[in-house]
Amino acid sequence: MSMIAAFYGGKSILITGATGFLGKVLIEKLCRTSPDLKVIYILVRPKAGHTLQQRVSQIINTKLFEKVREVCPNLHEKIRAISADLNQNDFAISKEDMQELLSCTNIIFHCAATVRFDDHLRHAVQLNVTATQQLLFMASQMPKLEAFIHISTAFSNCNLKHIDEVIYPCSVEPKKIIDSMEWWDDAIVDEIAPKLMGDWPNTYTYTKALGEMVVQQESGNLNIAIIRPSIVGATWQEPFPGWVDNLNGPNGMIVAAGRGFLRAIRASPLAVADLIPVDTVINLTLAVGWYTAVHRPKSTLIYHCTSGNLNPCNWGKMGCQVLSTFEKIPFEKAFRRPHADFTANTITVHYWNAVSHRAPAMIYDIYLWLTGRKPRMTKLMNRLLRTISMLEYFINRSWEWSTYNTEMLMSELSPEDQRIFNFDVRQLNWLEYIENYVLGVKKYLLKEDMAGIPEAKQHLRRSFPVYYAP
Ligand SMILES: CCCCCCCCCCCCCCCCCCCCCCCCCC(=O)SCCNC(=O)CCNC(=O)[C@H](O)C(C)(C)COP(=O)(O)OP(=O)(O)OC[C@H]1O[C@@H](n2cnc3c(N)ncnc32)[C@H](O)[C@@H]1OP(=O)(O)O
Ligand SMILES: NC(=O)C1=CN([C@@H]2O[C@H](COP(=O)(O)OP(=O)(O)OC[C@H]3O[C@@H](n4cnc5c(N)ncnc54)[C@H](OP(=O)(O)O)[C@@H]3O)[C@@H](O)[C@H]2O)C=CC1
């Protein structure tokens, strides 16, 4: 009998960010392993043209939920969507809903965040810091609350090289920043942002660090834990390998390389590629929820969910495996033959950007224009190069994250829980994982049919001159 699965039975669980990448996998695993849980409240912001129920249906009618629909046929009834906007006061939750949440919630998983690297500091502070503070305030009024699990990022302290499972202070108190945002106008925020951020590379990592400080300062009597995943990738094992549904992190780069747009990227091939599968993150998250509620550690424990110190893989090895998978399973409608290089030399990168990215895009646009179609390749290429410039910081450095708490937790689990809620990355075979990842990008993100592989290979052969273009 799984102690973790039994623990969630009968519980009322509140999840923020449930419509996001991690949130969906969290709901899926919870409902599959604990179909007798009472209810999952999800805070969902209304989106134009979609009712809340439509948003929920869109999620649970996907392939990701195929298995769980069998185990838990009344899935719809288990998930209760609550209209909420984390950018608003009291999250714009109705009085009745708020009353229900306050009186019934047993566990909170706080996943919502803005993960855009270049978000305006005001917006990033609002969602990643102020909303966390507000949620903690709500949590402090929940008599039945057993645990509050905050999802942060391993890169919240990316200004350091060695990172322990502790909270490091930022130079300016988050409360001061929250208050200042009330009366600073955008021009002042823009001017002061670089000074506040210091050696943090973007507003995302900086505000996630502030969010952790808020959690520490506002924890009061709450039972809190923080999870810090590194670069979250496609599923490793569950509910099936390779599931992924957005362009964040490496996903967009895999698409760009597979379609032949991306030819070179400034990266250190020997730098550790600290990827972590999303199902591993969720297994750890559920185990932490159980441990925090049942064992009530005296202080807030932080858990690093990283792969680098237990089972390292570098960008060079990962890139080679991505490319060799393209040989077997090419993407459809490739612009050129998939081939890309990691290079640490800035001059070489400028050269390849001109010769292999900008020039072919311009030539293709001229061809589109001459044939009466709308030129679009230069715009797409500029967007890609901008995205790469945002990711470069993370692929040219290595970090060391200690994992004492995560390893301690692993040893606390029963053999059955270690199997059902496996977060031991030492068992991960990188080559197999990357192959499934690329396959998953093709199937679940690009929605390409495997039956189209011969045609995709044919397409590459047909465009022979383009195949060998730089
Ligand atoms: C030795 C030889 C070997 C050779 C090998 C060679 C092999 C080569 C093969 C490749 C190997 C693989 C490894 C590669 C390295 C990967 C490194 C990953 C590091 C990740 C570190 C993460 C660390 C932290 C982790 C965390 O803790 S958090 C999660 C991370 N957070 C993010 O990843 C958000 C990023 N994004 C943004 O920050 C914004 O997106 C923004 C980009 C500013 C755009 O912003 P903007 O220009 O405004 O555009 P959007 O409106 O956003 O989008 C507008 C349009 O572009 C689309 N589009 C949005 N994005 C992307 C994207 N990426 N890629 C592509 N398209 C995208 C979107 O669909 C929309 O399309 P449309 O709908 O118009 O058709
Ligand atoms: N993905 C990764 O590589 C990593 C992620 N993390 C952390 O994991 C957590 C989840 O990330 P991930 O799932 O990738 O992110 P996503 O961008 O996929 O999901 C973000 C979620 O937050 C919700 N949200 C955003 N703004 C609001 C708002 N104003 N009100 C209500 N909900 C809102 C989104 O809702 P909507 O659908 O309406 O947009 C969505 O459900 C974050 O805390 C992130 O920092 C940490 C390390 C790496």
Distance (angstroms) between ligand 2 centre and the Cα of 322 equals 26
Q: Whose CA is nearest to atom 11 of ligand 1?
A: 319
Q: From the CB of residue 330, how many other CB atoms can be counted at a distance below 10 Å?
A: 24
Q: Tell me the C-alpha distance between 453 and 431, whole Å.
A: 21
Half-sphere exposure of 382 (CA within 13 A, CB side): 6
Distance (angstroms) between ligand 2 centre and the Cα of 18 equals 8
Which ligand minimizes its atom distance to the CA of 305?
2
If we measure between CA atoms, which residue out of 330, 349, 338, 351 comes closest to residue 458? Answer: 330
pLDDT of 463 reads: 65
Which ligand minimizes its atom distance to the CA of 88?
2
Distance (angstroms) between ligand 1 centre and the Cα of 252 equals 5
Indicate the top mutation candidate among 383, 385, 434 to test ligand 1's pocket, ranked by most ligand atoms within 8 A of CB: 383
Range 51-60 contact pairs with CB under 8 angstroms and sequence separation of 24 or more:
52/81, 52/82, 52/83, 53/81, 55/19, 55/81, 56/81, 59/18, 59/19, 59/24, 59/27, 60/27
If we measure between CA atoms, which residue out of 398, 402, 400 comes closest to residue 165? Answer: 402
In eight-state DSSP terms, residue 168 is P
Collapsing DSSP to helix, strand or coil, 130 comes out as helix
Residue corresponding to tokens 């706080």: 110
pLDDT of 292 reads: 98
Q: Whose CA is nearest to atom 47 of ligand 1?
A: 383
In eight-state DSSP terms, residue 354 is I
User: pLDDT by residue for the chain (470 residues), tens digit each?
Assistant: 899 999 999 999 999 999 999 999 999 999 999 999 999 999 999 888 888 888 899 899 999 999 999 988 889 999 999 999 999 999 999 999 999 999 999 999 999 999 999 999 999 999 999 999 999 999 999 999 999 999 999 999 999 999 999 999 888 999 999 999 999 999 999 999 999 999 999 999 999 999 999 999 999 999 999 999 999 999 999 999 999 999 999 999 999 999 999 988 999 999 999 999 999 999 999 999 999 999 999 999 999 999 999 999 999 999 999 999 999 999 998 888 888 888 888 888 888 888 888 888 899 999 999 999 998 889 999 999 999 999 999 999 999 999 999 999 999 999 999 999 999 999 999 999 999 999 999 999 999 999 899 888 888 777 645 545 55
Q: Are the C-beta atoms of residues 202 and 127 closer than 8 Å to each other?
A: no
Sequence-distant (6+) residues with CB within 8 A of 64 are 24, 25, 28, 239, 243, 245
In eight-state DSSP terms, residue 330 is P
Q: Tell me the C-alpha distance between 44 and 84, whole Å.
A: 5
Q: Tell me the C-alpha distance between 239 and 241, whole Å.
A: 7
Q: Tell me the C-alpha distance between 28 and 7, whole Å.
A: 16
Which ligand minimizes its atom distance to the CA of 256?
1
For CA atoms 39, 111, 140, 413, the dihedral sign is positive
> Measured in whole angstroms, how far is the alpha carbon of residue 428 from the centre of its chain?
19
ipTM > 0.85 (yes/no): yes
Q: From the CB of residue 177, how many other CB atoms can be counted at a distance below 10 Å?
A: 23
Backbone angles phi, psi at 43, to 5 degrees: -85, 110
Q: Whose CA is nearest to atom 27 of ligand 1?
A: 153
Residue corresponding to tokens 């300062």: 217
pLDDT of 228 reads: 98
Q: Whose CA is nearest to atom 27 of ligand 2?
A: 86
